[in-house]
Amino acid sequence: MQRRPSRVLAASAAALTAVTLSACASSDRDSGGGGEGGEAQSGGTLVFGATGDPSNLDPAFASDGETFRVLRQIYDGLLQPAEGSTEAEPDLAEGYEVSDDGLEYTFTLRDGVTFHDGTDFNAEAVCFNFERWYNFTGLAQSPSASSYYQDVFGGFADTPDVPNIYAGCEATDELTAVIRLNRVTSKFPAALTLPAFSMQSPTALQEYDADNLSGNEDAFTYSEYGLEHPTGTGPFRFDSWDRGNGQITIVRNDEYWGEPALLDEIVFRTIPDGNTRRQELQAGTIDGYDFVAPADYGTLEGEGAQVLVRDPFNILYLGINAGNVAGTNANPALQDPRIRQAIAHAIDRQTIVNSLLPEGAEVATQFMPPTVDGWADDVTTYDYDPERARQLIDEVNPASRTLRFYYPTDVTRPYLPDPAAMFQAISEDLSEVGFTIEPTALQWNPDYLQAAQAGQADVHLLGWTGDYNDAYNFIGTFFAAKADGLAKAEFGAFDAPEVFAALDRADAEPDPANRTALYQEANRLIMDYLPAVPVSHSPPALVVAEDVQGLTPSPLTAEDFSTVSLTS
Amino acid sequence: MLRFTVRRLLQLVPILLGLSVLLFAWLRALPGGPAQAALGERATPEDIEQYNRLFGLDQPIWIQYLRFLQRAVTLDFGNSTQYGRPVTEVFFERFPGTIELTLAAMVFAIGVGIPLGYVAARRYGSALDSASVVGSLLGVAVPVFFLAYLLRLLFAVELGWLPGSGRQDVRIDATRITNFYVLDGLLTREWDAAWDALLHLVLPALALGTIPLAIIVRITRASVLDVVNEDYVRTANAKGLSAATVRRRHVVRNALLPVSTTIGLQTGLLLSGAVLTETVFAFGGVGLALRDAITYRDFAILQGFILLLAVVYVLVNLLVDISYGVLDPRVRVR
């Protein structure tokens, strides 16, 4: 498999190294994918079918894909994912410098940028945003509110017992913001490409009381800012949110600092049912929608629609329970590495990829896709070999060959388009080598997720879509040690100190080249230990009508609609 | 009549109290709590613990219940975990859509059902009668979501005559006053908005109205067949009243008594949220909100909506009982 060249955003281990990034964030805007026929033209309204309503439009309190899709059009961050790729590139920052120890980031900001309320974007605004996140109190600290801040930065100003990596921000001049960290993590600055870390207008945040998540025992109410006055610097401005009709309208920002958007407005309309979304596209009342069922690709393309397939940036794995979670009654045989290897050898992953996943899917050799820095081409692999699997099982001769296999229902995930079919295929393979499968099907959320994450299954299907180009976002999320020094309950809290240490080492390494090598080492250790079986990377797709041009599919589902136009 | 009405309204108190206890216990007995549902596949056990602590879900259930009750008496049903807004606000935003849809469905069901049932009965044994019996059986038997897909495929996708989802075209910039989209269009004289909202009601109303239609046809037919053979109808005919007068004053009026009960019950049912129809047509009423609330374990929405809908259901039934008095003087006397 080909590796992508490592990230441009390299911070040298030598003295302060300037990383100057070309200020071309918005150039080549008309080179996107989408339809080829017809002249791109300005104007018009694009209607996009969403699967659900956004939660609110304050990025700091957002974490789901439908909300992010809207936010990406209204806001900019310091960095953004490059068009059609997972690599970070400059957005509101023209570039940054990193200190030797990797603890100080000096961002040089783009000049002449204003927020939608007319106020200036500058270094003080950057620091205002960082300080705002760090100083959240009360309900704003709920994991359902500021989830990405907590995932990347850790604790808050008033929670000294929770480790946090943010040490401070200083506006050294109008266009220079220095951000200091308490410790190095590979999440920073890659995570700044997430909409959760978008730059927002300090004036609007204060005027509309953005931090005030009022509420009582059961839940909070989003602020007036998040519901009615989102104010960013992006190519589109918020116009209206018609909740009764489930639609959000955003309009072109004519004062945009980059190349202005081509469309006049975009309407995001909530259509929860997948069949309805397809029929609405066929009827011409919407111009596109996301998460197309692979079974519909042919029909839609036959009718002239364009199915835009993203590069896979996810992983499907078969989780294995190591049996260290009290009361979960896991099969003790799974603690023996030979049984885990037997499971890996038993599964015909190539056939699964060929028959159950859309074109472009590939067999996973490790727990992250090849496009992430740190992917290793020399990990131990476990080829399909049922004979070897049987041998291994016979060698161990476990007391029980029964595997309680959990799988979800009522859900389609980008990495798992058809859970029942996937369960069927894997369980047949496992039965073939002598395991007895006891299936349990549960509704996806919350039933299945809770059962799987609590370690109630012997083996289970789950996966992950990456948030940004960082190995820790994949393998750290899965296999890093928890506070008790063991792995997550989902994997039966296994104890593999060498894996945990390798992940910590890689995360704390400031030099990108060294870090990549350390993550490769971590991947090798993980695949030797085999705490679970990586199955596949599967490409999700979105679809647009024939007359939609200029939409480039993004592996991170970070599509930029400002380049989109309608030819009719 | 007043005493009757007051008594019925007072009965609401134990009904709602009992329902709230049942709901509270049932929702909390579901596997997987709101924390897992709200945090999704990225939830860690620590996140779930923190969430439960912040929102008091780690408190004993009776304390949670008492707090809920304390607020509920002031019509504060808390905040939705899914929308991050007060439940009552979401309800009053969604309920007008459901009322509009229910009215449209019932207009269709009643407007077609009563005449069809009447004609079928008067032409008892004819081809039309048989067709109405078979048709109404089919109407009850066909699953709503299947019919909904069929209707949309035909009228929205293939023929393109009618809109297939939503409450109004997204390109119409309508003024909202009451959240009844048709009414709003009329009030603001935005005729295109009113017309468009009306067109959006057609397919969901057809899908939703089919079952009540089938039931109304059958009840009307049976009821008319009963009444035309009554002594008083024979007497009325014998004393030389015109056929039209007999029909209007003796047959229809008496035959409509059981029909009105059916209409009341069906209206009450539809108002409680047409989950399937609203989901298939992406129609933003309470049914769609309830569906999402179950998926996301949005306890506040479920508790608040179901209690408010129970009030609506009881009130509709009360109206039906009162309408009895108008239709049947004997009830009034009692």
Highest mean pLDDT among A50-54, A344-348, B183-187, B311-315: A344-348
Cβ separation of B156 and A450 shorter than 8 Å?
Answer: no
pLDDT value for A351: 96
B42 touches chain A (CB under 8 A): yes
What confidence tier does A470 reach under pLDDT thresholds 50, 70, 90? very high
Burial class (CB in 10 A: 0-12, 13-18, 19+), B140: middle
User: Two tokens at A235?
Assistant: 């190519």
Closest CA to A177 of A93, A243, A102: A93
Residue the block writes with tokens 């259509």: A271
Query: Could you tell me if A227 and A212 are in contact, meaning their C-beta atoms sit under 8 angstroms apart?
Result: no
Sequence letter at residue B156: A
Q: Measured between alpha carbons, how far is B64 from B56 in angstroms, rounded to an integer?
A: 7
Q: How far is CA A281 from CA A250, A278, A304, A546, B154, in A?
A: 20, 5, 11, 10, 14
Closest residue in chain A to residue B283, using alpha carbons only: A245
B66 touches chain A (CB under 8 A): no
Average pLDDT over residues A7-36: 36
Closest CA to A200 of A86, A62, A9: A62
Cβ separation of B42 and A147 shorter than 8 Å?
Answer: yes
At residue A513, does pLDDT exceed 70?
yes
B152 touches chain A (CB under 8 A): yes
Closest CA to A89 of A11, A20, A148: A20
At residue A260, does pLDDT exceed 80?
yes
Higher pLDDT, A267 or B312: A267
Closest residue in chain A to residue B92, using alpha carbons only: A244
Query: Could you tell me if B279 and B294 are in contact, meaning their C-beta atoms sit under 8 angstroms apart?
Result: no
The Cβ of residue A421 has, within 10 Å, a number of other Cβ atoms equal to: 15
Sequence letter at residue A85: S
Q: Measured between alpha carbons, how far is A397 from A183 in angstroms, rounded to an integer?
A: 47
User: Two tokens at A271?
Assistant: 């259509």
pLDDT value for A39: 54
Query: Could you tell me if A346 and A401 are in contact, meaning their C-beta atoms sit under 8 angstroms apart?
Result: no
Q: Which positions in chain B touch A147 (Cβ < 8 Å)? A: 39, 42, 47
Q: Measured between alpha carbons, how far is A225 from A220 in angstroms, rounded to an integer?
A: 14
What confidence tier does A207 reach under pLDDT thresholds 50, 70, 90? very high
pLDDT value for A152: 93
Cβ separation of B50 and A142 shorter than 8 Å?
Answer: yes
pLDDT value for B292: 83
pLDDT value for A8: 34
User: Two tokens at A152?
Assistant: 């990347």
Q: Measured between alpha carbons, how far is B80 from B89 in angstroms, rounded to an integer?
A: 10
B200 touches chain A (CB under 8 A): no
Out of A45, A279, A282, the one facing B171 most closely (by C-beta) is: A45
B44 touches chain A (CB under 8 A): yes
Average pLDDT over residues B151-175: 88
pLDDT value for B216: 93
Higher pLDDT, B53 or B92: B92
User: Two tokens at B206?
Assistant: 């057809």
Helices B299-327 & B2-29 angle (0-180, nearest 10): 150
Q: List pLDDT tens digits, range B110-151.
A: 999 999 999 999 888 889 889 988 988 888 888 888 899 899
Q: Among A55-64, A202-211, A410-419, B109-118, whose mean pLDDT is lowest?
A: A410-419
Residue the block writes with tokens 């023929």: B159
Helices A337-346 & A419-432 angle (0-180, nearest 10): 110
Higher pLDDT, B13 or A308: A308
Asked, as a colleague might, if the bond just before A189 is cis with ω within 30 of 0, I would say yes
pLDDT value for A36: 45
Q: What are phi and psi of A305, to 5 degrees?
A: -70, 160
Out of A64, A244, A267, the one facing B284 most closely (by C-beta) is: A244
pLDDT value for A412: 79
Q: How far is CA A200 from CA A75, A229, A231, A232, A461, in A?
A: 7, 11, 6, 5, 38
Cβ separation of B149 and A217 shorter than 8 Å?
Answer: no
What are the b/e assignments for A363-377, b being 16+ CB within 10 Å? bbbbbbbbbbbbbbe
B242 touches chain A (CB under 8 A): no
Higher pLDDT, B24 or A19: B24
Q: Could you give the ipTM of this predicted complex?
A: 0.78
Q: List pLDDT tens digits, range A218-230.
A: 678 889 999 999 9
B71 touches chain A (CB under 8 A): yes
At residue A21, does pLDDT exceed 70?
no
Cβ separation of A55 and B84 shorter than 8 Å?
Answer: yes
At residue B23, does pLDDT exceed 60?
yes
B155 touches chain A (CB under 8 A): no
Q: Are strands A45-50 and A288-290 parallel, antiparallel or unpaired?
A: parallel
pLDDT value for B65: 87
**Interface with chain B: mutation pick from A66, A144, A161, highest number of B CBs within 10 Å:** A144
Query: Could you tell me if A243 and A53 are in contact, meaning their C-beta atoms sit under 8 angstroms apart?
Result: yes
Cα torsion B292, B295, B296, B299: sign: positive
pLDDT value for A397: 94
Which pairs from A482-488 meet CB under 8 Å and 24+ separation?
A482/B44, A483/B46, A486/A324, A487/A322, A487/A531, A488/A453, A488/B44
Q: Measured between alpha carbons, how far is A95 from A195 in angstroms, rounded to an integer?
A: 18
pLDDT value for A118: 96
Q: Distance from B76 to chain A by nearest Cα, in Å?
A: 11
Q: How far is CA A501 from CA A169, A485, A497, in A?
A: 30, 11, 6
Going along A25-140, which residue ranges are E strands?
Answer: 45-50, 79-81, 88-90, 93-98, 104-109
**Interface with chain A: mutation pick from B49, B53, B54, highest number of A CBs within 10 Å:** B54
Q: List pLDDT tens digits, range A542-552.
A: 999 999 999 99
At residue A20, does pLDDT exceed 80?
no
Q: How far is CA A35 from CA A233, A292, A438, A549, B141, in A?
A: 28, 17, 48, 5, 45
Q: What is the mean pLDDT of chain A?
A: 89
Q: Measured between alpha carbons, how far is A522 from A236 in angstroms, rounded to an integer?
A: 42
Q: Distance from A98 to chain B by nearest Cα, in Å?
A: 30
Q: List pLDDT tens digits, range B269-318.
A: 888 768 889 988 989 899 988 888 887 778 889 889 988 888 888 888 88
Q: List pLDDT tens digits, range A26-46.
A: 333 333 344 444 555 688 999
What confidence tier does A192 reach under pLDDT thresholds 50, 70, 90? very high
Asked, as a colleague might, if the bond just before A312 is cis with ω within 30 of 0, I would say no
pLDDT value for A30: 35
Residue the block writes with tokens 């971590």: A522
Cβ separation of B41 and A445 shorter than 8 Å?
Answer: yes
Q: Measured between alpha carbons, how far is A421 from A406 in angstroms, rounded to an integer?
A: 13
Give first-to-last CA distance, chain A, whole Å. Answer: 41
Domains within chain A, CATH numbers bracketed: 29-308+541-567 (3.40.190.10), 312-537 (3.10.105.10)
Contacts of B326 (CB under 8 A, 6+ apart): B332
Q: Measured between alpha carbons, how far is B132 from B101 in angstroms, rounded to an integer?
A: 25
Q: List pLDDT tens digits, range B32-54.
A: 677 777 777 777 777 888 888 88
Q: Which positions in chain A touch B170 (Cβ < 8 Å)? A: 45, 47, 245, 247, 249, 267, 269
Average pLDDT over residues A488-497: 93
Q: Measured between alpha carbons, how far is B167 from B100 in angstroms, rounded to an integer?
A: 10
Cβ separation of A218 and B153 shorter than 8 Å?
Answer: no
What confidence tier does A437 reach under pLDDT thresholds 50, 70, 90? very high
At residue A131, does pLDDT exceed 70?
yes
Query: Could you tell me if B307 and B91 are in contact, meaning their C-beta atoms sit under 8 angstroms apart?
Result: no
Alpha helices (H) along chain B: 2-29, 34-39, 45-54, 61-72, 87-122, 127-141, 144-151, 181-187, 191-228, 231-238, 243-245, 253-271, 275-280, 286-295, 299-327, 329-333
Out of B94, B282, B295, the one facing A445 most closely (by C-beta) is: B295
pLDDT value for B77: 86
Q: Among A20-29, A262-271, A496-505, B302-311, whose mean pLDDT is lowest?
A: A20-29
Q: Which positions in chain A touch B79 (Cβ < 8 Å)? A: 215-216, 218-221
pLDDT value for A364: 97
Q: Which positions in chain A touch B97 (Cβ < 8 Å)? A: 244
What are the b/e assignments for A330-359, b being 16+ CB within 10 Å? bbebbbeebbbbbbbbbbbbeebbeebbbe
Query: Could you tell me if A79 and A8 are in contact, meaning their C-beta atoms sit under 8 angstroms apart?
Result: no
Residue the block writes with tokens 């508790």: B303
Question: What pTM was computed for the model?
Answer: 0.83
pLDDT value for A17: 35
Query: Could you tell me if A245 and B200 are in contact, meaning their C-beta atoms sit under 8 angstroms apart?
Result: no
pLDDT value for A217: 54
Q: What is the mean pLDDT of chain B?
A: 86
Report the share of chain A in percent with pLDDT over 70: 92
Burial class (CB in 10 A: 0-12, 13-18, 19+), B136: buried
B179 touches chain A (CB under 8 A): yes
B78 touches chain A (CB under 8 A): yes
Q: What is the CATH number of domain B87-333?
A: 1.10.3720.10
Cβ separation of A47 and B38 shorter than 8 Å?
Answer: no
* Chains A–B, number of C-beta pairs less than 8 Å apart: 181
Closest CA to B284 of B146, B86, B96: B96
Q: Considering all CA atoms of chain A, what is the largest pairwise distance in Å, rounded to the nearest integer? A: 72
DSSP state for residue A260 in the 8-state scheme = P
Which pairs from B286-294 meet CB under 8 Å and 24+ separation?
B286/B91, B286/B94, B286/B95, B286/B97, B286/B98, B287/B98, B288/A272, B288/B94, B289/B90, B289/B94, B291/A272, B292/A52, B292/A272, B292/B82, B293/B80, B293/B82
Q: Measured between alpha carbons, how far is A527 from A515 in angstroms, rounded to an integer?
A: 18
**Interface with chain A: mutation pick from B24, B27, B39, B41, highest number of A CBs within 10 Å:** B41
Query: Could you tell me if B250 and B233 are in contact, meaning their C-beta atoms sit under 8 angstroms apart?
Result: yes
User: Two tokens at A458?
Assistant: 């012997």
Average pLDDT over residues A467-474: 93
Contacts of A152 (CB under 8 A, 6+ apart): A165, A185, A187, A188, A191, A197
